[in-house]
Structure 1
Amino acid sequence: MQPERQHQNWRSEAGSRLWLSGLIAAMKHAERPEVRRQPVAPEILLELRAQLALTASFRTSGISTLRH
């Protein structure tokens, strides 16, 4: 999915609920002891950092759009 499309989905109520449900499911999975013991590949950490940076830039651009 293209970043613009993801951003539009996130801004809708259904999209934000879907995103939040996915986040909660991922956090519940990650908190399991057998999962926490597994090493994380450096490539996955890089992708995670890139995704978090992308999300932050979307939030920033959304705020500036609302102010104008």
Structure 2
Amino acid sequence: MRPERQPRNWRSEAGSRLWLSGLIAAMEHAERPEVRREPVAPEILKALRMQLALTASSPSAPVSTLRH
């Protein structure tokens, strides 16, 4: 599941399961050799670093989606 298609309400049990399923699917996709060979755009890396910094600094920080 692509990040922009994930449900925003992941705090419910059903939403958590959908979110986790999407995360697992994304990780399985990303581990494929043909995908891993593709370069990642600098703006995606920057957005990811910013999101990780927010999440680490505040557990209640809003979750944004990375789109490319």
Could you say which TM-score interval applies, normalised by the shorter chain?
A: 0.5 to 0.7
Please list, as runs of the form range in 1=range in 2, the aligned pairs for 1:1-68 lying within 5 A after superposition. Answer: 6=8, 9-56=9-56, 57=58, 60-61=59-60
Residues 10, 52 of structure 1: CA spacing in aligned structure 2 closer, same or farther, 3 A cutoff? farther
Gaps of 5+ in 1: 1-5, 62-68
Q: TM-score, normalised by structure 2?
A: 0.62
Identity of aligned residues (%): 87
* Aligned structure 1 segments of 4 or more residues deviating by more than 3 angstroms: 53-56
Q: Looking at CA atoms only, which structure, 1 or 2, has the larger radius of gyration?
A: 1
Q: How many residues align?
A: 53
RMSD, aligned CA: 2.0
Q: Deviations over 1:22-68 (max 9, x none)?
A: 100110110000010111111011111223334442xx23xxxxxxx
**Structure ranking higher on relative contact order (CA contacts 8 Å, 6+ apart):** 2
